[in-house]
Structures are given as structure tokens and as C-alpha cells.
Chains A and B, each alone.
Chain A
Amino acid sequence: MVLSSLAVLVIDENRIRASIIEAGLREAGHQRVTVVHDVAGIARRIAEIQPDVIVIDLENPNRDMLENMFQLSRAVKRPIAMFVDRSDQASIEAAVDAGVSAYVVDGLRQERVKPILDMAVSRFNAFSRMARELEEARSELENRKVIDRAKGILMKSRGLSEDAAYTLLRKTAMNQNRKISDIAHSLVTTAGLLGPLEDE
């Protein structure tokens, strides 16, 4: 099948994200996918792979180096145009928003490349969503720990039951229009400043 015969090179130092993109490309029928995590010696790899499309993450500081390499076209022996199409502003914005950039061999028609970039964009978004959710879960756990500590402080210093301590935290949060975790954070910090109170 002609459509899937494009050679795609994915350069991403984040291995998990790179493998997610690779999987997506293979699912879409692209069999000639190469993933590179380290840009050292990339010129030789590009010459070997002869990619039609290069997908790279924007966090990679070596973008300047790569672009220059393409311009000199020594490494690839073919002229390279960047991004999908200069005029396709929406695609470019979506790509940069997601943190991905695609470099395309000149002469390759846009409609053949766009699905690859679109796929990369959606996978990048999925990855960052995943990372965000993980972060949220982590901070949720962190907050729960802080609330427990705050409850403990209140129980000790005010002689409250656990329920009463939680109710007091919640009431204070409601009165001040803040989150319970924020109130708990301030309480723990204050207790820390006052020292012995917590350690008694």
C-alpha cells in the first residue's frame, strides 16, 4: 500500500511518549517507523534511514541543530521543507500547542503527511493529559496527607475528635472561601513555625 510506505523518524527523548507515537503510527499502517531518543550521531542515522517525515518534540534543544542540518542538506542529500505547509496555520498551531513539530521532505504532498502530524498531535495531547492526571492524583494524595496532619494537630491542640477536627477545617475553608487542603497547608505550616505544638 503506497500510503503507508513513508519512512517516519521520531526523535523524542521521552521514551514513553516516543513509544506511544510509534504505536500510533504502526496502528495507522506505517511500517517504516524509527524512533531515536538521543540526537548524538543523528546525521548518520538520518542518512541511513532516509526519512520522508521527521517528527520531533519541541522540548528538544537540538531543533536548531537539526534545522540547520536540513538546510545544508548534507545529512539527508535532499532539500527539506519544514512543517506541513507554511500556509496551514491551524495545523501548525495545533502542533506547537501540543509540543510537536514535523519536518517534511520537499515534494511530499501535504495530504500524505498531515495524517501523520495529526496523529502525533493527538498522541502528544493524550500523553500530556496522562501526565497531568498522574500529577493531579499525586497532589490529591499529597493533599490528603496534609489534611490528616492538620486534623492531628487540631485533635492534639484543641482536644477534638477526628470528625470535629475535620468539621472545623471544612467550616474554616467555607468561611474563607478556600480549599480545605489550603487551610490544612497553612495550619501545618503555622504549626511548623510554632514548633513544639506539633511535636508535643
Chain B
Amino acid sequence: MTAAHQITAGFMPLFDSAVLVAAGEMGFAAREGVDLVLHRETSWANIRDRIAIGHFDLAHMLGPMPLACNLGLTPLASETIVPFSLGLGGNCVTISNAVWEGMAAHGAVSDLDPARAGTALGAFIRERAAAGRDPLRFAVVHPHSGHNYELRYWLAACGIDPDGEIEIVIVPPPFMADALAAGRIDGYCVGEPWNSASVSAGTGHIVTVKALLWRNSPEKVIGARKAWAEAQPEALAALLRALHHSARWCQDPANRGELAALMAQPGFLGQSTEIQMPVLTGHLRLGSGAERNVEDFFVPFDKAANFPWKSHALWFYTQMVRWGDIAHTPENLAVARDCYRPDLYRAALKPLGVALPGANAKVEGALKIATPVGSAGASLVLGPDGFFDGRIFDPDQIDAYIGAQRPG
């Protein structure tokens, strides 16, 4: 039998490509008539460029990356849309043992609490500065990444200036653990399993996690070339249904072993199944023997994890403005607003009779407890979704939010 649609997709070796990988490997795509051809890439720049010139129809992408493409921040002009989110959470901030010792001297304990860790880090940074030592160097995976923005958000909320008091550099995810062990960087923010890799090697300590900085916050997405999506709406819809089934399968605890074994294959992550269990169970080893369970550490399906909320895109946009990537103008705001496409998600999944949110955007950080929300079809429960500093992002109050975050 020949497939009705052939789709070529790129991905990076990170655990959060699992929903896309499993869609191809576990038969979900084939069942929707899609022949999904997966290509592992070595850099986010390649993913971006190969979508731009049409090598890939779509790809595993950093949440803010399609925005950066559409806002003209990338070398190749290309219109990229986001019809599907690959999950919530999954990142950690990992630091070297030396920095951990310094932070512990200022009151940090192994509880992952962002506020306490941030305060200790700030005190340690100032102690170093007073002693005339070089600023700490942190790494993120790409300038236009959730990692960059959440690291900066955390530091700034704890009174640390990410541009003045530390240095932020770019290191590819699979190199993070080595760079930390070699002393080229002092800490990093990356998706799993590249945090557990450092802990496992005894060279790093996890100090906080994305799920505690902003609970149920957006991470990777499916970025699709707009021209392709418009030319092949049926292919895209079929793939979105396959991804939906795949995400549901990935979320099911009964499939953890099989999923970890799949991702452990050399063509995907190529890392042991053992090192992938923390992301699947939320049971993290933090370093120096400390362990901690994190609720909603990585959510590939539950809590409308796959819905491309416009409020997620708009939050990324506010951070791009905040850190000087782009000017806040009505035109740029419109570009950011049009990038994520809940309409395509809804249209594709409607025939399945699954729960679909009624709104395209939500107030982020308002849900303190899990809350059922208005939806079409089955019932839908969201959140909790709080930012650790208690702030709220209302996408209807963007000017005020950006104004409140302006330095000085």
C-alpha cells in the first residue's frame, strides 16, 4: 500500500522530539496515510534553513524559532507556522559542582525552588564580582529558544542582570554536559536528557526546572513551512492526527519502557534508556545523592499540551522585546499573533471528537489549581500554570506587561 501523503521532517536529538519520532516509528503516521520520513539534524540552524528552502515540510522546533523566522531575525526569510505543540516543560538548569558549592554557602538547598536558588546564585555572583573574578558563563541552545528566555526570566526575577552579571553563550544540546565537565561553561539550561547526563557523570547539579519556573509552559513545537501547509492541508491534518495519537501514547506510563527503548536507538537520541527515565517519570536525580519528584515535569499530551496557544507565542514575543531581539511595534505584534495556528489544530482534530479548547489564547499564570475549561467535545482540564514569581501574563495587556519588564 502506498501512503497518501509523504512528509519530510527534521528533528534534533532531544527527548522532546519523541512525539514526532514515535508518530513515524510506532505506526501512527502510517495509520493516517502518512509516510513520515525523519531526518536527524545536527543544529537548529540546519533545521531552520532546511525548512526555509523546502528540504523539510516541517520540523521539531524551538517554540520561539518560528516567530524569529517570521519576524525576520533569521538569515533566510521564510514563513513558518505552528499548528501543534510537542509538549510542556522538560528543561532544567544545571550548574557545575563548583558553582553549587558556592550557592550552597549562600543558602541553596537541593529542593529545586527557583526563588531560593536564584537568591543564592545572586549572592554567589556578587561575591565573585567583589573578588574580581570573571562572570559566570551560562549556556543555552539557541538565542531564540525557550531556554534562553526562561533562564533570563528566572535570573531577572531573582534580581540578577542576565546581560551584565553573567555571560550567556550558545552550545549545542549534546555538547552541554561535556562543556560543563571541561569547565568551558559554569551552567546551562537545556532539555532532557542532557541535564541528567551531567548528574549521571557526577559533574553537574540540577538547581531548578522549567516546570517550577513556569508550570506547564510551552517548549518544542511543530514548525511547518507555511507555503507547504497551504498547498497540502490534507497532509498536514493527517499528520496532526497522527501526532495527537502519538502524544497520547507517549504520555501513557505503560509505554515508558518502549518509548525509552525507541529513543535510545542510535538514529534518534542514542542515549541509554536509564538516562531517559527522569524525563518520563519526573523523578529527578539532582546531584550529590539528592532526588526529587517534579509534578508535570514533562507533559507530552495531558492538559491540552498539544494545543498551539497564541498566548504562548505572545509571551515569547514579549521576551524577545524585553531582551532587545526586536522592537515592539503593531506590525511585529501582528506577526507574532499570526504565527501559532490553533485553527489548523482544531480543524484537523475535530473529526476525532477530542477535547478542543474554545479560546485561542489564555491568561498565563492565573490557574493555581487544575481547572476544567470551556471546550468542544470531551471535557478538558488545564493547569495549574503559575510563574514562580506570581506574575500573570494577560495576552490582552501586552503593552502593560512589556512596560513592567522594561529595565530601569
B42 contacts A by Cβ under 8 Å: yes
Q: How far is the CA of A179 from the CA of B372 in the complex (A)?
A: 61
* CB pair B49 A60 closer than 8 Å: no
Q: How far is the CA of A68 from the CA of B75 in the complex (A)?
A: 12
A62 contacts B by Cβ under 8 Å: yes
Q: Which of B76, B169, B174 contacts A61 (CB 8 A)?
A: B174
Q: How far is the CA of A29 from the CA of B94 in the complex (A)?
A: 49
Residue of B whose beta carbon sits closest to that of A70: B75
Q: Which of A59, A64, A89 contacts B44 (CB 8 A)?
A: A64
**Which residues of A from 39 to 75 have beta carbons under 8 Å from B?**
58-65, 67-69, 71
In the assembled complex, the CB of A124 is this many whole angstroms from the nearest CB of chain B, namely: 15
In the assembled complex, the CB of B380 is this many whole angstroms from the nearest CB of chain A, namely: 36
Q: Which of A79-87, A125-133, A141-149 contacts B (4 or more CB under 8 A)?
A: A79-87
B175 CB contacts on chain A under 8 angstroms: 61
* CB pair B76 A86 closer than 8 Å: yes
B241 CB contacts on chain A under 8 angstroms: none
A92 contacts B by Cβ under 8 Å: yes
* CB pair B143 A62 closer than 8 Å: no
A69 CB contacts on chain B under 8 angstroms: 170
* CB pair B46 A81 closer than 8 Å: no
Q: How many residues of B contact A (CB 8 A)?
A: 22
In the assembled complex, the CB of A128 is this many whole angstroms from the nearest CB of chain B, namely: 15
* CB pair A67 B42 closer than 8 Å: no
B162 contacts A by Cβ under 8 Å: no
A93 contacts B by Cβ under 8 Å: yes
* CB pair B42 A61 closer than 8 Å: yes
* CB pair A86 B77 closer than 8 Å: yes
* CB pair B75 A64 closer than 8 Å: no
Please count the residue pairs between chain A and chain B whose beta carbons lie under 8 angstroms apart in the complex: 59
A181 contacts B by Cβ under 8 Å: no
B75 CB contacts on chain A under 8 angstroms: 67, 81-83, 86
In the assembled complex, the CB of B315 is this many whole angstroms from the nearest CB of chain A, namely: 22
Q: Which of A59, A68, A81, A97 contacts B42 (CB 8 A)?
A: A59
In the assembled complex, the CB of A152 is this many whole angstroms from the nearest CB of chain B, namely: 33
In the assembled complex, the CB of B48 is this many whole angstroms from the nearest CB of chain A, namely: 9
In the assembled complex, the CB of B140 is this many whole angstroms from the nearest CB of chain A, namely: 9
* CB pair B172 A68 closer than 8 Å: no
B53 contacts A by Cβ under 8 Å: yes
* CB pair B172 A58 closer than 8 Å: no
* CB pair A96 B170 closer than 8 Å: no
B37 CB contacts on chain A under 8 angstroms: none
B172 CB contacts on chain A under 8 angstroms: 61-62, 64-65
* CB pair A65 B170 closer than 8 Å: yes
In the assembled complex, the CB of A81 is this many whole angstroms from the nearest CB of chain B, namely: 7
A62 CB contacts on chain B under 8 angstroms: 43, 172
A58 CB contacts on chain B under 8 angstroms: 42-43, 46, 49
Q: How far is the CA of A151 from the CA of B393 in the complex (A)?
A: 73
Decide yes or no: A64 and B142 within 8 Å by CB, A83-B76, A86-B76, A86-B77 being known contacts: yes
Per-residue interface assignment for chain B, residues 65 to 96, with 1 indicating a CB less than 8 Å from any chain A CB and 0 otherwise? 00000000001110000000000000000000
B143 CB contacts on chain A under 8 angstroms: 68, 71
* CB pair B45 A64 closer than 8 Å: yes
B326 CB contacts on chain A under 8 angstroms: none
Q: Which of A81, A83, A96 contacts B55 (CB 8 A)?
A: A96
* CB pair B170 A93 closer than 8 Å: no
B46 CB contacts on chain A under 8 angstroms: 58, 63
**Which residues of A from 95 to 125 have beta carbons under 8 Å from B?**
96-97, 101
Q: How far is the CA of A190 from the CA of B330 in the complex (A)?
A: 69
Q: How far is the CA of A71 from the CA of B168 in the complex (A)?
A: 13
In the assembled complex, the CB of A111 is this many whole angstroms from the nearest CB of chain B, namely: 19
Residue of B whose beta carbon sits closest to that of A82: B75
* CB pair A96 B50 closer than 8 Å: yes
Q: How far is the CA of A148 from the CA of B175 in the complex (A)?
A: 45
* CB pair A96 B49 closer than 8 Å: yes
In the assembled complex, the CB of A39 is this many whole angstroms from the nearest CB of chain B, namely: 10
A101 CB contacts on chain B under 8 angstroms: 45, 49
A82 CB contacts on chain B under 8 angstroms: 75-76
Q: Which of A67, A92, A93, A97 contacts B45 (CB 8 A)?
A: A67
* CB pair B169 A96 closer than 8 Å: no
B277 contacts A by Cβ under 8 Å: no
Residue of B whose beta carbon sits closest to that of A90: B53
* CB pair A93 B53 closer than 8 Å: yes
A63 CB contacts on chain B under 8 angstroms: 42-43, 45-46
B304 contacts A by Cβ under 8 Å: no
A83 CB contacts on chain B under 8 angstroms: 75-76
* CB pair A64 B76 closer than 8 Å: no
* CB pair B76 A68 closer than 8 Å: no
In the assembled complex, the CB of A93 is this many whole angstroms from the nearest CB of chain B, namely: 5
- Can you offer 16 A-B residue contacts whose CB atoms are under 8 A? A58-B42, A58-B49, A61-B174, A61-B175, A62-B172, A63-B46, A64-B43, A65-B169, A65-B170, A68-B143, A82-B76, A86-B75, A86-B76, A86-B77, A92-B53, A93-B53
Given contacts A61-B42, A86-B75, 15 further A-B contacts (CB under 8 A): A60-B43, A61-B175, A62-B172, A63-B42, A63-B43, A64-B170, A67-B75, A68-B142, A68-B143, A68-B170, A69-B170, A86-B77, A92-B76, A101-B45, A101-B49
In the A-B complex, the 5 residue pairs with the smallest Cβ-Cβ separation, listed nearest first, are A82-B75, A68-B170, A63-B45, A61-B172, A63-B43
